[in-house]
Amino acid sequence: MDLILIRELTARCIIGLRPEERGEKQDVIVSLALSTDLSRAGESDLLDDSIDYRAIKKQVLALMEQSQFHLLEALAEAIAGTCLETARIHEVRVTVDKPGALRFARSVAVEIVRRRLSQ
Active site residues: 98
Neighbouring residues of 82: CB distance < 8 A, sequence distance ≥ 6: 59, 60, 63
- The rounded distance, in Å, linking the Cα atoms of 26 and 13 is 5
Task: State the helix-helix crossing angle for 72-84 and 53-66, rounded to 10 degrees.
Answer: 150
